[in-house]
Amino acid sequence: MDVHIDRESTVPIYLQISGGIKELILAGKLPEGFRLPPERRLARSLGVNRSTVLAAYRELKADALVDAHVGRGTAVLPRHFAPEPMGPTQPIPWRQLAREDGPKAQDPLVRDLLQLTERPDIISLSVGLPAAELLPLDAVRRAMSALLEEVGAPLLLHCPTEGTTSFRETIAGMLVTRGIRCTAGEVLITSGSQQGLDLAARAFVEPGDAVVVEEPSFFGALQAFRRAPARLLGVPVDGEGMRTDVLESLLARHRPKLIYSLPTFQNPSGTVMSLERRRHLLDLAYRFQVPIVEDDPYGELRYDGPALPSLAALDEHGYVMYLSSFSKVLFPGMRVGFMVAPRPALRQLALAKQAMDLHSTTAGQHLIERLIRDGHYSRHLKTVRAEYRRRRDLMDEALHAHAPDGVSWSKPDGGFYFWCRFPNAIPQAQLLARAAESRVSYLPGDACFADEPSDNYLRLNFTYPLPDAIGEGVERLMNAVRAAASRPRRGGNGGGTPPIV
Amino acid sequence: MDVHIDRESTVPIYLQISGGIKELILAGKLPEGFRLPPERRLARSLGVNRSTVLAAYRELKADALVDAHVGRGTAVLPRHFAPEPMGPTQPIPWRQLAREDGPKAQDPLVRDLLQLTERPDIISLSVGLPAAELLPLDAVRRAMSALLEEVGAPLLLHCPTEGTTSFRETIAGMLVTRGIRCTAGEVLITSGSQQGLDLAARAFVEPGDAVVVEEPSFFGALQAFRRAPARLLGVPVDGEGMRTDVLESLLARHRPKLIYSLPTFQNPSGTVMSLERRRHLLDLAYRFQVPIVEDDPYGELRYDGPALPSLAALDEHGYVMYLSSFSKVLFPGMRVGFMVAPRPALRQLALAKQAMDLHSTTAGQHLIERLIRDGHYSRHLKTVRAEYRRRRDLMDEALHAHAPDGVSWSKPDGGFYFWCRFPNAIPQAQLLARAAESRVSYLPGDACFADEPSDNYLRLNFTYPLPDAIGEGVERLMNAVRAAASRPRRGGNGGGTPPIV
């Protein structure tokens, strides 16, 4: 048995011995049943202490490569799963091989919706996109040309996992207007806001941990937490935001790992959490020592009502990880968002991000930094705010004109969505199919709940459709609701759980 | 006790009842010890069957909200974790809260190295970057301008999770020249190659699963698999690539979930797996039904030697998930890579990707597609291939001129790296510090091993440093080796495990 020892190496001798023997076994040079030399003899022949060989053999036992019996010495174990002689090659059962991370059936929803919106004959009220015709194409072209000229190669090379220093500084500066005081070192650039959610889940949620979510909530967040996989604890949302009275009992009972909240222009309900509830939420988080993930992609898109401070702005003890995005105000296609978190939290998030995608697009970071620094971002925000306010009013009017009895909604003060309740007698799947026949798409409310909801909802986006299409889309949809209500397709495959959930 | 039932709802009645009671309990409206009405009575008052109420109570019991005792009925349980009255708010122990996913200490390595390369006085031989001065800045500017003009808004909007259809078609077409036949439906666009590794881990590796890796291997892959968290099974690499004889024993013993291999211009060793080994690897995968993740970022950067078919090109049974990247030939800063996988595997990967970042940068996909379609990619490949061959030769000459006895290496036929062995007597940490003093950086070999390596290696990149810097960098480094060898700093903090691993 040929084992080589290098006394100059920084690798401990016992690991060199066990490594050498391991390699011999795995290469088949020490067959099953082969007796390793007694410890004392091997120690003598290698010129090491017996305890060193003992430690090496212990390693091999831990690897299930050898076993020792009193009186019989240490012998190489048999291969446990000797395969049969080779038959015809079997295909890989990929689906069975996949991780079991929660309900698979619901996941393709977003992808299917994104595909629907590509059909030109469909009026899309489903996805949360900014107005395509307002996208700042000229500003982007000018900025990219200037950047390639002035910044040059670094634009196309790697940057730190956390993001470029100057972009992080720019964001820290921008956040002062949102009442959030942070340093560049507390900013992490993400590949869109969705990655921020996924990072929070991957850095902090262990399988089986509980995570508090609002009911309803952003489906992309539910998806990210479900894949952790976390147990989702739903807290209902009413007109003042998350029901913090219910939250308190849940915190006491389940000791969750995170609380996820969208306090401002909540997706999908459009609700703004009251200042009192914001304070109560923070107090509860402090009392039970549970960090909060605050998601704020829509905060700057306010059309009415007073501005309320974000949880991050109110937080005095470093409990909030704040997420935001450029996807709603500027554009989503570059995949650039950001998080603000206390430094020790940020470090964990950056470690997770490094293994995920090294860093977010360098060119995209420079581009958005420039749009902020040259004032284009602020000007653009004013433009889209005015236009989206107008579209929101158009949708509200269209709903008043076309919604049948039994459909109810509130006009949101900001954000991207109307959240409409419709009669429970209409199965979601049936309405979805009828709406597709009528060439209009929406997001079924069921996708936004952690538990099965007791009511029927649909989410309507008013920022992406052109003003003319808003009235037409709402009319088509409400006709579909009316048709489904008057001629419910019961029996057959109807009733029971709709396939989309 | 006020429980509302909606008979028109698609939600089963028993879930409506349990949901209503659950909400009352969590809101504190039914205090600890409160007796729920006997099933028969509640059934009568709600006008439902007793079995329905029974099912509702069972739900509540399963949620640990109530408990039932014969003779005493069903009562609300106490809160288990009633917190103490509020004291001063404690800071969140973020590090303790983080998931335990493997060795934390090693992870920051890449980030630290990326930071080192930002120092202008350091000659960086450490990171795997393309030559900055060869980046196609003009071509990028022209392409972006044309795209903003011709494609317009869709450039900045969402695209399907799998990538834009036309880019996927372009890649499928491009792969014909690599001998890989696939359809656009088998291509998934990733946010860099690192994300492809992470996706394979997240879609298919459950905690505790074993994954076979080469020893040495790409440290970013080790990192992604470690975070799964997977058990890594190392198979040594020799001059012909992965030791498939050792692999066979490992497959029999451990039934791993995946085999990860870089068969062509392996990172870090530069090795090319022989055709015989490639065939043997595939045969073993078929026999033990283990899918292969083939990582091929360097395959097109061949300077000498014959071209060998990739595993994906040889695979006849859909066992290979093939990963590649534009980071090495074009630029890494846009974060665009791709995977090719059988459709059922691709579906699982796309589901994982959707929860991670929705999709990769739309603008970046269009940009690279255009560079491929207009022939720029092929022309650029010719340019960098010629230049990198020259730099490889320069590094080989510099090593011959400056390396002391005890340092050994092979001249690689392609790729980005020299893999040098240096005397085991020199602790890695000490050499790293001495090299930094001498203003030269390299990648310590230890980072590339799943297990503690028995030999000392360092990886040197020859594509990023300017030709003049290659000789100077190698000379500085070899002087550091010589100094460390002649005056090893033993004692003190020396010896034992260097802190970098």
Of A487-501, B84-98, B190-204, give the lowest mean pLDDT range. Answer: A487-501
Average pLDDT rounded to a whole number, residues B210-220: 96
pLDDT of residue B73: 85
Report d(CA A164, CA A365) in Å as an integer: 7
Q: What is the pLDDT of residue B78?
A: 75
CB within 8 Å: A111 and B291 = no
Nearest to B361 among A90, A104, A361 (CB): A361
- Across the interface, whether the CB atoms of B333 and A156 are under 8 A apart is answered yes
Comparing CB atoms, the residue among A8, A192, A355 nearest residue B227 is A355
For residue B284, give Cα distances in angstroms to A24, A128, B252, B291: 19, 47, 10, 10
The helix (H) or strand (E) run that includes residue A431 is helix A428-437
pLDDT band at B55 (very low <50, low <70, confident <90, very high): confident
pLDDT at position B81: 47
Rounded mean pLDDT of chain B?
88
Q: B352, B372, B370, B391: which is closest to B470 by C-alpha?
A: B391
Beta partners for A212? A233, A259
Q: Residue A170's pLDDT is what?
A: 96
Q: What is the pLDDT of residue B117?
A: 59
Cβ-in-10-Å burial (0-12, 13-18, 19+) of A176 comes to: exposed
CA dist A20 and A37 (Å) reads: 14
Q: Which residues pair with B68 in a beta bridge?
A: B74
Is the pLDDT confidence value at B256 over 50? yes
Residues of chain A with pLDDT under 70: 10, 79-86, 100-118, 487-501
Residue of chain B whose alpha carbon sits nearest to that of A226 = B355
Cβ-defined contact of B97 to A257 (cutoff 8 Å):
yes
Q: From CA A217, how far away is CA A105, in angstroms rounded? A: 18
d(CA B18, CA B11): 11
pLDDT at residue B118 in the model: 64
Per-residue pLDDT for B52 more than 70?
yes
Q: What is the pLDDT of residue A106?
A: 44
* Token pair of A54 as six digits: 């003992």
Cβ distance of A206 and B358 shorter than 8 Å: no
**Interface contact B161-A333, CB threshold 8 A:** no
B207 and A207 within 8 Å at the Cβ level: the answer is yes
- With contact defined as beta carbons under 8 Å apart, do B174 and B165 qualify? no
What does the pLDDT read at residue A109? 58
Q: Which of A291, A361, A498 sits opposite B333 (nearest CB)?
A: A361
Q: Where are the beta strands (DSSP E) in B91-206?
A: 123-124, 187-190
Give the mean pLDDT of B54-63. 84
Q: Are A178 and A323 in contact, with CB atoms under 8 Å apart?
A: no
Are B360 and A206 inside 8 Å of each other by CB?
no
Residue of B15, B91, B161 with shortest CB distance to A317: B91
Q: How far, CA to CA in Å, does A480 sit from each of A246, A286, A393, A465, B464?
A: 36, 47, 22, 19, 61
Give the span between the Cα atoms of A37 and A14, in whole angstroms: 15
Question: Looking at CA atoms only, how far is residue A421 from chain B in angstroms?
Answer: 12
Check CB contact under 8 Å for A354 and B10: no
For chain B, report the end-to-end CA distance as a whole number of angstroms: 62
Q: Per-residue pLDDT averaged across B187-211, rounded? A: 94
Pick B129's closest partner by Cβ from A80, A157, A287.
A157
Q: Which of B156, B224, B250 lies at the smallest CB-CB distance from A331?
A: B156
pLDDT tens digits, B362-398: 999 999 999 999 999 999 999 999 999 999 999 999 9
Check CB contact under 8 Å for B224 and A355.
yes
Query: CA of A30: how far to CAs of A41, A63, A76, A78, B255, in Å?
Result: 18, 15, 7, 11, 20
| CB atoms closer than 10 angstroms to residue B393 | 14
Which distant-in-sequence residues (6+ apart) come within 8 Å of B395 by Cβ? B418, B460, B462, B470, B474
Q: Give me the pLDDT at residue A107, please.
A: 45
Average pLDDT over residues B459-487: 94
From B64, B111, B352, residue closest to A160, measured CB to CB: B111
List, as one string, the DSSP characters of B432-466: HHHHHHTTEE-EEGGGG-SSPPSSEEEEEE-SSS-
pLDDT for the residue numbered A501: 26
**pLDDT of the residue at A363:** 95
A277 token code pair: 């509830």
In the prediction, which pLDDT does A68 show? 83
Cβ neighbours of A427 in B, within 8 Å: 10
CA atoms within 13 A on the CB side of B409: 29
pLDDT value, residue A485: 85
User: Does the interface ipTM go beyond 0.85?
Assistant: no
Give the distance from residue A202's alpha carbon to the nearest chain B alpha carbon, in angstroms. 7
Residue contact B156–A148, C-beta within 8 A: no
pLDDT at B457: 96
Whether residue A252 and residue B331 make contact (CB cut-off 8 A), yes or no, is no
Interface A-B, measured as beta-carbon pairs within 8 A, has a size of 380
Residues from chain A contacting residue B356 (CB–CB below 8 Å): 194-195, 198, 224, 356
**Minimum distance, in Å, between the CA of residue B275 and any CA atom of chain A:** 20
Q: What angle do CA B375, B381, B386 make, to 5 degrees?
A: 135
Q: Is the pLDDT of residue B497 over 60?
A: no
Position A88 scores a pLDDT of 79
* pTM of the shown model: 0.80
Chain A residue numbers with beta carbons less than 8 Å from the beta carbon of B142 are none
Q: How confident is the model at residue B349 (pLDDT cuts 50, 70, 90)?
A: very high
